[in-house]
Each structure stands twice: as C-alpha cells, then as structure tokens.
Chain A
Amino acid sequence: NAGVTQTPKFRILKIGQSMTLQCAQDMNHNYMYWYRQDPGMGLKLIYYSVGAGITDKGEVPNGYNVSRSTTEDFPLRLELAAPSQTSVYFCASTLATGSNQPQHFGDGTRLSIL
C-alpha cells in the first residue's frame, strides 16, 4: 500500500532556483493538500485541491504554484526560491471532508534554500 508518495525526500536549492515537489496518491482521493511545517511549529496550508482541475489557495500561498491534472498527482512548484521557503513540506489526501476520514500524509520533503 503506497498511500501518499512524495519525492524528493531532501533537497538543497540556491536562492532564485526553482523546483517541483512531487506528490502522488493511489487511494483515489479527490481532496489533496500541501502543507509546510516550519521548525517548532504546526503545519500551515499552502494550497489545496478538491478534484482534478480545481485548486485554491490556503493560508500561505505566496511563492508557490500548484496544478492538478489528474486525481493521483498534485505537484507543488516553487519559483524563485527564497530562504523563507526553507521548511518541511507535506502532501496529504483524504477521501471525504466533513466526516471521520483522516488526512493521509506523505513522509515529507525537507527543503533547504541557501
């Protein structure tokens, strides 16, 4: 059972570089989310998607973009990386909202911007 798969697990970027964090789930979940976790803090929502072709901003979307062309994949794009984007990024998915269905998380991507 793969669940939610994130790649890469670790990455170091230089300021101004760009990259895409990959997220894929094999549970046929419509709802997918990107969170970031800064040291000593809880997770904050960057973007979310309620289905293929539909995305929307969360609490901290600046500096990021997403797309959702398929149910399975929800990549997160960083353009012009900045030191403030150094964080651990989690992708999550859930079957349904408004119920006891938990969000299933990937193992995270640890990103450092130097």
Chain B
Amino acid sequence: AQKITQTQPGMFVQEKEAVTLDCTYDTSDQSYGLFWYKQPSSGEMIFLIYQGSYDEQNATEGRYSLNFQKARKSANLVISASQLGDSAMYFCAMREGLIGSQGNLIFGKGTKLSVKP
C-alpha cells in the first residue's frame, strides 16, 4: 500500500503568489514524523520543514509552512511569496515510529513546481 501520496505531478505558480503542495499519508503508528524536501535541478536534497505527529501547532520555517490535518492524514506544504528559485521537485516523506526505530524515510513521488515570472 502506498504510504505517501502526492497527487500533483506538476504545479505552476506565479511569482510572489502562494502555492500549496498536497501530501497525504497512511500509517497505523501513533508516532511518526513528516518531512518536506526540495530537490532543485542540480539534484541535491534540501530539508525544508518537519511536523511531528504529536505537534499541536503547524510547523513554520520562514516562507514554508505545513498545513497538518491529522484526522485527514494530510500534511500539505504551503510556500508563501513564491520566488523563481523555488522552482524544483518537492518531496513529502514520512518516518514511522519513535526512538529505536530504524528511522528511514518513506517518500512520495514528488511534485514539480514551476514558478512563472
């Protein structure tokens, strides 16, 4: 069963506008973490933001925020004031379990974001 689903293969956004990238997940664990990574065309994986399953508030990191809806099992990434440099692939990933787990990440297939000038 697919554990991380990103339903938007590609997205376009106008520069300076906000954009939401969707992510839904499936787990039976009560404890898990959700991560978003950015992969520019150069290929490296850049960590953006984290949300823990017990965190009561939505995570924010600068222009990035995570819209976490636990009951719906969704963890959407919101990028405010888009910039040309935001054009990249974005991956949602989940880590199941707490301390003592192997800690590997399960990745979605990604969303390619293109920012238009």
Which residues of A are interface residues toward B (Cβ below 8 A)? 31, 33, 35, 40-45, 48, 50, 56, 58, 88, 90, 92, 94, 96-100, 102-105, 107-108, 110
Smallest CB–CB gap between A6 and chain B, Å?
10
Instruction: Check A98 against B31 for contact (C-beta < 8 Å).
Output: yes
Instruction: Check B108 against A99 for contact (C-beta < 8 Å).
Output: no
Smallest CB–CB gap between A69 and chain B, Å?
20
- Residues of A near B110 (CB, < 8 A) are 40-42
Instruction: Check B45 against A105 for contact (C-beta < 8 Å).
Output: yes
In the complex the two chains form, what is the Cα distance from A88 to B45 in whole Å? 12
- Residues of A near B37 (CB, < 8 A) are 105
- Residues of B near A45 (CB, < 8 A) are 104-105
Instruction: Check B109 against A40 for contact (C-beta < 8 Å).
Output: yes
Q: Kindly state the interface size class of chain B when it binds its partner.
A: 20 to 34
Which one, A56, A98, A102, A108, contacts B98 given CB within 8 A?
A: A98
Instruction: Check A103 against B47 for contact (C-beta < 8 Å).
Output: yes
Instruction: Check A97 against B44 for contact (C-beta < 8 Å).
Output: no
Residue of A nearest to B101 (CB): A97
Instruction: Check A105 against B44 for contact (C-beta < 8 Å).
Output: yes
Smallest CB–CB gap between A58 and chain B, Å?
6
In the complex the two chains form, what is the Cα distance from A107 to B41 in whole Å? 12
Smallest CB–CB gap between B97 and chain A, Å?
6
List 15 interface pairs A-B (beta carbons < 8 Å), by A numbering: A40-B110, A42-B109, A43-B105, A44-B107, A45-B105, A50-B102, A50-B103, A90-B45, A92-B105, A97-B98, A98-B97, A98-B99, A98-B100, A105-B44, A107-B44
In the complex the two chains form, what is the Cα distance from A43 to B101 in whole Å? 19
Which one, A31, A40, A108, contacts B44 given CB within 8 A?
A: A108
Which one, B91, B102, B108, B109, contacts A97 given CB within 8 A?
A: B102
